[in-house]
Structure 1
Amino acid sequence: MSSIIIICIFVLLVAFKIWMSSPKNIGKFGEKRVARKLDWLSKEYITLNDILLPTHYGTTQIDHIVVSPYGIFVIETKNYKGWIFGHENSEEWKQSLLGKKRFWGWSSEQHKFRNPIRQNEFEDRYNLLYISYICTEKSEFDGEIFMKSFENIIPRDFQGGVLVLKDGQVVFEYCQGNADHSTNTPFTSHTTITLASLSKQFVAAAIFLQIEQGKLSLDDTIDQYFPQYPQGKNITICHLLHHSSGIPDYISDRIIPDAIQKYESEHGIAPTDVIEFNKCIVSECRPVSLSECFDLIGELPLYFKPGSDGRYSNTNYFLLGYILEIVSNKSFSDVMSDIFMLFGLKYTHMNGRDADACGYVKHDDIIFSCGRPSMDSGDSSVVSSLTDLGLWCKAILNADILSVNSWKECLNFNPNPYGCGLWQFDNGWFGHDGGLPGLRHWQRLNFKDKVAIILLSNVVMEEPPFLAQLMEYLIR
């Protein structure tokens, strides 16, 4: 009888083993097992997931990374198992970290850097993870290690500057390439460069200062400043600030399409690459008068009833610049200079023609100079530096200078995602992007973590996700 029971148990175990070995169940239970182990890791240690890192051979995605007192480990999960990579002599650390009972079933394979991860690139990842360890634990900051580590992820062809603030302190500052190729002038933290649309937040601050002084109201309609624009009787200062006016964009709705149409008429074809496109529009990026602006957009209908929706329009801040002149009895440049002095920005001014940095476009092996773009208007004319932008971002995060109510309205992202000269992004981040021919900029701030990230580039490029997103992730 006992032998029959033993045979039955053996048969059941074999059947269970076969059932568990099916691809469906391997996936079902394997995913749960991996998830449980990673969940435990995340509670015990610092963990990072789905990290994209640049390498000399392209971009590498790392599934999971664990930072522990025993060392830093790269965990790749393939076929519902985990491979743990560590430092050369880290086997003891691995065993201490994993524990045989707690991590039964996981394999620990040393020195198997799966493609396209290469062993000579592991040290770069090691340095990057050490940064995360420092920032997450808020332990004593080692600036040299931090800077050296982040330098490893900035591509060699990046041209411009990067600044990272945490808790009001500069934790990373890095510049690379030339501000002006013709003179071989290097790009530094004090290099001045036209900020393009990052200018709007400064204009918003100037408007709120006028409101605090009783010279303006958010509810003022703009027909009293621009009687030549019939639509103005239904549009308020608040609508302009929040891009909820419905006014067409004099640049994207008129200047750029008109420039492309002109190019097509002269060449018989639309611009075929990034250099030709920038050549097409660079001559049109010039100062536009108020009368010319209304000539461009005056006949175009509003996109929607003011206040009912949101649509980004440079015209909103173009008009706010003229309103500042009217209510202050000063030139726009002088009004903005007062703001710069108030916030202690020594390198910031309004003359793009005097900026240190030229703008460039690269395509294949060709470099085209866009000169020093200058618009002289409220939507894109502020010239500043990394150093001054750091002070500016610190003031925003600390809600300095302006009143509480002013900052509250500035950061009122309604309609979404438009605040006043700022946009709302995911996960508590806000800021703005900027672009003119030859220039690309990105700004990200986070109140919760008291972090500011600034990228200024004088070469046209796509948003560098491996840089901005990785920096956000690591510092946070």
Structure 2
Amino acid sequence: MNQFFKAFLMLMACYCPIVSAQESAVATIDKLMSSQFKANEPGANVLVARGGKIIYHKAFGMANMELNVPSDTGMVYYIASNTKQFTTVAILQLLEKGLLSLDDTLGKYVKSTPPVSQITIRQLLSHTSGLNGDGYRDSLNIPKGNTRQADAERYAAKNMAFPAGSKWLYNNGNFQTLGYIIEKVTGKTYQDYINENIFKPVGMNSSVVVTGDATLIKNRPSGYSIGRRGILNINLHDTQDLYASGGILSTATDLFKWNRALKSGILVPKKTLELAFTPQRLTSGQTVPYGFGWYIDNLHGSAVYRHGGAVPGFISETFYLPQHDIYVVILINSESAVIPQVLARIAAAELTDKPYKFQRGELVHENLGKYAGLYESEKGEKVNITEENGKVYWQRLGGRRYEVMPSVADEFYFEKDFLWLEFQRDKKKKIDRLVFSRAGYTPNTWKKLEKPALRLSETGQEL
């Protein structure tokens, strides 16, 4: 008994720091999300899971501003382009059943002529098809009553944007066309196929494929925009035309079920699903950071499978680290300045051993006056760096002025936007450039010009 008790104490000694670290990370995540979504503005649903368990799920803000209805965790949001994951899995299911091949050409399913007819399903899935037309924007002009076949033929009738396989270009028309292929192969509507072969087996009971604006969807929040004119209502156009590229609505909990179903292999074998998580290769040999329906990213060296989505009034992000089994879902019912990919990245990193740090430091006194000046990007954009009363400010020409907070030596950050500035020095230790970066985005370098800082108004106009 004594030996058992000792073993138990040793086990708890190992376990408690893990629990404590997770609780601390969750508290940090909650502080982060609470700072981004105000109680009296359009809101969001945020879910974070680790190891197959939900460790954080919270609703923020308002679902309906006019009726004063707060958000709750059961709200059903447009997930927009995250729909592409579902279309991808549907295609892979048909591949497993031998009903199609990834190397099947478009001409097999859609009336078309070369070179469009030679586009493959693989190229449609990976946005390397060269198919012309955005799909989402084009859907604004689709005649009422048009069939899916007519829509697919309309895309196929256009000239190629580039030779198939030679470039990568995100294009909703690729997945609109895949939706029609699913219908032609199965004899079912896209909606019925997804319901029967994905939603029902997974238990995604709150998820729907939208069939039009008139459809009543229980627990759907209203969509808004937040901008210079304040908070405004957003009216969607006929949402049935979002279709296989962006027509699904779901909850954070249902998307968690989706993540677990993919991991378990109940929808499609893991080996087949790996095709979707493999960066695709162009005819030049170059690989692109996209598989089938997912972006292939990384977080501090760990693989990430993610996608974002946006339709009028709604934005979304799903973000998965397979190595750590961390999954983040962010669903927002507004077109706000919040970038969900950045929030998801920071939240996920908090649960790894390499969290992002926003630590307030002291401005080194001897550096005062050395940062100020006019900087220019590779695109010719200019930014003014000024110093006043021991503080450093960033201001684009024509834009507002922002104070940047000192962190460590020569590094600053924007307190609310998760942006970093790093002033870099030449061989003589003189500051000659700054690097502007955001979590998950390619940094931009700005060269310091041989000119003093400009005198600008509050709106960035030269005085």
Alignment TM-score, normalising by the size of structure 2: 0.62
Q: 1:465 to 1:205 in 2, by over 3 A?
A: closer
Aligned-CA RMSD value: 3.0
1:163 and 2:47 equivalent?
A: yes
1:324 and 2:182 equivalent?
A: yes
Q: Say which of 219, 235, 240 aligns to 1:375.
A: 240
Instruction: Compute the displacement of 1:454 (Å).
Output: 0.9
1:307 and 2:165 equivalent?
A: yes
What's 2:276 paired with? 410
Distance 1:141 1:465 in 2: 23
In the alignment of these two chains, the number of paired residues is 316
Q: 1:360 to 1:288 in 2, by over 3 A?
A: farther
C-alpha deviations, 1:166-192, integer Å up to 9, x for none? 000001111112223343333222211
Q: Which has the higher helix share?
A: 1
Is contact 1:409–1:419 with CA below 8 Å preserved after alignment?
yes
Higher mean alpha-carbon deviation, 349-358 vs 231-240, is at: 349-358
C-alpha deviations, 1:348-402, integer Å up to 9, x for none? 1112643412211012352221245623411000111111011112223444431
Is contact 1:286–1:375 with CA below 8 Å preserved after alignment?
no
1:194 and 2:78 equivalent?
A: yes
Is contact 2:297–2:304 with CA below 8 Å preserved after alignment?
yes
Describe the SS at the equivalent of 2:335.
coil
1:420 and 2:420 equivalent?
A: no
Distance 2:15 2:127 in 1: 36
Q: 1:458 to 1:295 in 2, by over 3 A?
A: same
What's 1:91 paired with? none
Distance 1:193 1:228 in 2: 36
Distance 2:20 2:262 in 1: 25
Higher mean alpha-carbon deviation, 379-388 vs 215-224, is at: 215-224
Higher mean alpha-carbon deviation, 363-372 vs 160-169, is at: 363-372
Is contact 1:197–1:380 with CA below 8 Å preserved after alignment?
yes
Distance 2:279 2:37 in 1: 37
Describe the SS at the equivalent of 1:250.
coil
Percent sequence identity is 23
1:387 and 2:253 equivalent?
A: yes
Distance 2:52 2:150 in 1: 43
Is contact 2:52–2:260 with CA below 8 Å preserved after alignment?
yes
Distance 1:245 1:138 in 2: 46
Q: Partner letter of residue 320 of structure 2?
A: L
Q: Say which of 92, 96, 100 aligns to 1:216.
A: 100
What's 2:373 paired with? none
Distance 1:137 1:400 in 2: 34
Distance 2:166 2:290 in 1: 13
What's 1:361 paired with? 225
What's 2:19 paired with? 139
Describe the SS at the equivalent of 2:132.
coil
Q: Partner letter of residue 337 of structure 1?
A: N
What's 1:436 paired with? 311
Instruction: Compute the displacement of 1:310 (Å).
Output: 1.9
Is contact 1:287–1:375 with CA below 8 Å preserved after alignment?
no
Larger relative contact order (Cα-Cα within 8 Å, sequence gap ≥ 6): 1
Q: Partner letter of residue 267 of structure 2?
A: I
Instruction: Compute the displacement of 1:306 (Å).
Output: 1.7
1:153 and 2:28 equivalent?
A: no
Is contact 1:147–1:173 with CA below 8 Å preserved after alignment?
no
Distance 1:424 1:316 in 2: 18
Mapping of 1:63-74 within 5 angstroms?
none
Is contact 2:112–2:153 with CA below 8 Å preserved after alignment?
no
Is contact 1:254–1:297 with CA below 8 Å preserved after alignment?
no
Is contact 1:247–1:302 with CA below 8 Å preserved after alignment?
yes
Distance 1:226 1:430 in 2: 31
Q: Partner letter of residue 307 of structure 1?
A: G
Q: 1:136 to 1:449 in 2, by over 3 A?
A: farther
Q: Which has the higher strand share?
A: 2
What's 1:449 paired with? 324
Is contact 1:250–1:297 with CA below 8 Å preserved after alignment?
no
What's 1:458 paired with? 333
Higher mean alpha-carbon deviation, 440-449 vs 286-295, is at: 286-295
Distance 2:46 2:93 in 1: 29
Q: 1:289 to 1:417 in 2, by over 3 A?
A: farther
C-alpha deviations, 1:99-120, integer Å up to 9, x for none? xxxxxxxxxxxxxxxxxxxxxx
Q: 1:200 to 1:426 in 2, by over 3 A?
A: same
Distance 1:426 1:293 in 2: 36
Q: Partner letter of residue 335 of structure 1?
A: Y
Instruction: Compute the displacement of 1:404 (Å).
Output: 2.6
Q: 1:285 to 1:469 in 2, by over 3 A?
A: farther
Q: Say which of 336, 342, 350 aligns to 2:194.
A: 336
C-alpha deviations, 1:127-162, integer Å up to 9, x for none? xxxxxxx9995336876x765543322224361111
Is contact 1:347–1:384 with CA below 8 Å preserved after alignment?
yes
Distance 1:192 1:285 in 2: 28
Larger radius of gyration: 1
Q: 1:292 to 1:357 in 2, by over 3 A?
A: farther
Q: Partner letter of residue 226 of structure 1?
A: V
C-alpha deviations, 1:277-321, integer Å up to 9, x for none? xxxxxxx99997546645864554323322233211101110111
Instruction: Compute the displacement of 1:438 (Å).
Output: 0.9
Q: 1:141 to 1:287 in 2, by over 3 A?
A: farther
Instruction: Compute the displacement of 1:425 (Å).
Output: 1.4
C-alpha deviations, 1:396-421, integer Å up to 9, x for none? 34444311332111111214212111
Is contact 2:317–2:341 with CA below 8 Å preserved after alignment?
no
Distance 2:259 2:190 in 1: 22
Q: Partner letter of residue 407 of structure 1?
A: L
Describe the SS at the equivalent of 2:165.
coil
Describe the SS at the equivalent of 1:153.
helix
Distance 2:50 2:118 in 1: 42
What's 1:98 paired with? none
Distance 1:327 1:465 in 2: 35
